[in-house]
């Protein structure tokens, strides 16, 4: 029997291409109007035995048609319906989803799916829906609803997992997080997480051994959690002087976009985490802080962030350092407070027409030692002014030095002062060494003598030297 006849006998037209895939479609108006959830491939495989009368049919590549159809089925997305068994009662949807994810195929679904227990995604699994939510009180086209209490996360992502185009509704049940990441190199795209009893989206864990480095997130939306909207933090027992909370493994991640709104704790928080990059996160109306960098946060960057109407302002705690923050804040947001002055912050404050840059930089690269600096650039509609400050934070024999410079167009002259170890001062009015002025302001020139009275000329020279601080009076 020819291959096309076999496919016709199964009620489906199909053609094998030069790759290892098969696309099925209805034969005609008299054929089936829709295909099973697995695109008809399972039906074809099941019917081949009876349709061929036991005849072995081969493709142009020498493989049996049954084998090629099996390969094609494995390459096609799995649906929840394939694995659904109503006899499982309240657990039916969750068990169907677990079975679909365990099949090794990418899983897709549409509509509402209720979990009666926590879902742990197996490594390398992928789950995709047809749309997330843009509001804290409405579901997306594909929603996963938490239907259980307790402190476990609704969804736990292990290594190399993927979530796409879906909504996770915690329904304020229990105290668990919405999505928790404990595996490396996960991918999350266009996902909304709402109303978790804990944090909406958590990367890492407390006192756990895990590897959640290298995560990639795009278009995350986080609304109305009892806890935080987003929290990246990992503490563990690998404690040292460098890592007092343990050496974290939630590092090297990237987030593109991000919408964090009306979470009861911080909208966006970075704890013990290193070298993560965030591009364009928007944080509004947190009941606590819109942005919060905690102890152990280091080398994390925010580019083009937006902050509005946070209740408590934005904060970098003591022990957060070498973070870079470039963002816009509105007049209703009080801006960042840097507890240790060890971070670089460049906010543009909309509605105030000013640009302020605050920060300090550790040249030696060791917290609490080396040379630091502070750059403050301010401008408004009336004038342009800039100030540069610097300080040494060294200890012991280095003493303490201070360098400041100021340029202010409201004053007739620039002011510059530099000190090191209280031993050398350079001022706009002169040079001091160990408190003694050695160079003062420029004095009028002394004319050459045209005739006698050398004592008068000598006295003029001595007076000039005294005026410059080069000799004592």
Res. 365: pLDDT tops 80? no
pLDDT of residue 341: 85
Average pLDDT over residues 54-71: 58
Phi/psi at 87 (5° precision): -70, -10
Res. 443: pLDDT tops 90? no
The answer to whether residues 142 and 165 touch, using CB atoms and an 8 Å cutoff, is: yes
Res. 312: pLDDT tops 70? yes
- Find residue 23's DSSP bridge partners: 15
- Regarding the domain with residue range 80-375, which homologous superfamily does it belong to in the CATH classification? Single-stranded right-handed beta-helix, Pectin lyase-like (2.160.20.10)
CA distance 158 to 198: 19
CA distance 80 to 144: 12
Out of 308-322, 358-372, 452-466, which region has the weakest mean confidence (pLDDT)? 358-372
pLDDT: is 3 or 167 the higher one?
167
Res. 84: pLDDT tops 70? yes
- Find residue 330's DSSP bridge partners: 350
Res. 128: pLDDT tops 80? yes
- Residues 6 or more apart in contact with residue 141 via CB below 8 angstroms: 110, 111, 129, 130, 131
pLDDT of residue 423: 53
For residue 472, name the pLDDT band (cuts at 50, 70, 90): confident
| Average pLDDT over all residues of the chain | 74
CA distance 315 to 335: 8
pTM for the complete prediction? 0.67
Res. 327: pLDDT tops 60? yes
pLDDT: is 50 or 60 the higher one?
60
Structure tokens at 371: 């040379």
Listed by start position, the domains of the chain span 3-75, 80-375
pLDDT: is 402 or 173 the higher one?
173
Q: What is the DSSP string of 135-148?
A: STTS--SEEEEE--
For residue 473, name the pLDDT band (cuts at 50, 70, 90): low
Average pLDDT over residues 275-279: 98
Average pLDDT over residues 351-361: 42
- Counting residues of the chain whose pLDDT is more than 90, the rounded percentage is 46
CA distance 249 to 271: 12
Res. 204: pLDDT tops 90? yes
What are the respective helix, strand and coil percentages of the chain, to the nearest 5? 15, 35, 50
Backbone dihedral region for residue 88 (phi beyond 0: left; psi -120 to 50: alpha; all else: beta): alpha
- Our CA angle for 430, 433, 434, nearest 5°, is 130
Res. 302: pLDDT tops 90? yes
- Find residue 420's DSSP bridge partners: 424
For residue 147, which of 117, 176, 120 has the smallest C-alpha distance? Answer: 117
Q: What is the DSSP string of 309-320?
A: --SS-EEE-TT-
Interhelix angle for 41-52 vs 65-75, to 10°? 170
Average pLDDT over residues 204-212: 93
The answer to whether residues 305 and 279 touch, using CB atoms and an 8 Å cutoff, is: no
Q: Residue 43: how many CB atoms within 10 A of its CB? A: 18
The answer to whether residues 268 and 281 touch, using CB atoms and an 8 Å cutoff, is: yes
Res. 153: pLDDT tops 80? yes
């Amino acid at each position: 029997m020819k291959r096309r006849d076999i496919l016709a006998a199964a009620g489906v037209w199909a053609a094998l291409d030069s790759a290892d895939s098969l696309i099925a479609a209805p034969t005609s108006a008299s054929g089936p109007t829709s295909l099973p959830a697995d695109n008809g491939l399972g039906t074809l495989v099941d019917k081949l035995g009876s349709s061929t009368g036991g005849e072995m049919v081969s493709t142009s590549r020498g493989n049996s048609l049954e084998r090629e159809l099996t390969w094609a089925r494995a390459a096609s997305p799995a649906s929840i319906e394939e694995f659904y068994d109503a006899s499982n009662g309240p657990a039916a949807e969750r068990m169907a989803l677990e079975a679909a994810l365990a099949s090794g195929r990418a899983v897709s679904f549409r509509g509402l799916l209720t979990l009666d227990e926590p879902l742990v995604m197996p490594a390398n699994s992928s789950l995709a829906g047809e749309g997330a939510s843009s509001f804290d009180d409405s579901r997306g086209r594909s929603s996963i609803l938490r239907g259980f209490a307790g402190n476990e996360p609704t969804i736990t992502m292990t290594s190399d997992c993927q979530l796409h185009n879906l909504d996770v509704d915690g329904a304020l049940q229990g105290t668990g997080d919405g999505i928790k990441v404990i595996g490396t190199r996960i991918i999350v795209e266009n996902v909304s997480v709402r109303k978790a009893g804990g944090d909406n989206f958590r990367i890492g864990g407390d006192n756990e051994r895990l590897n959640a480095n290298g995560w990639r997130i795009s278009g995350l939306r986080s609304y109305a959690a009892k806890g935080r909207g987003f929290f990246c933090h990992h503490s563990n027992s690998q404690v040292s002087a460098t890592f007092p909370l343990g050496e974290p493994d939630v590092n090297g991640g990237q987030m593109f976009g991000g919408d964090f709104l009306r979470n009861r704790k911080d909208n966006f928080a970075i704890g013990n985490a290193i070298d993560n990059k965030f591009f364009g996160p928007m944080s509004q109306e947190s009941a606590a802080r819109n942005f919060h960098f905690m102890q152990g946060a280091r080398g994390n960057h925010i580019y083009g962030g937006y902050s509005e109407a946070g209740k408590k302002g934005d904060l970098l705690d003591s022990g957060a350092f070498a973070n870079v923050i470039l963002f816009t804040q509105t007049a209703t947001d009080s801006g960042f407070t840097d507890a240790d002055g060890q971070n670089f912050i460049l906010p543009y404050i909309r509605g105030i027409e000013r640009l302020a840059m605050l920060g300090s930089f550790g040249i030696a690269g060791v917290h609490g030692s080396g040379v630091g600096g502070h750059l403050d650039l301010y401008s408004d509609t009336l004038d342009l002014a800039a100030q540069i400050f610097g300080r040494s934070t060294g200890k012991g024999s280095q003493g303490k030095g201070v360098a400041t410079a100021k340029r202010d167009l409201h004053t007739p002259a620039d002011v510059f002062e530099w000190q090191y170890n209280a031993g050398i001062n350079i001022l706009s009015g002169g040079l001091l060494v160990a408190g003694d002025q050695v160079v003062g302001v420029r004095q009028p020139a002394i004319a050459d003598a045209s005739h006698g009275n050398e004592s008068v000329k000598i006295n003029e020279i001595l007076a000039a030297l005294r005026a410059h601080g080069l000799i004592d009076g």
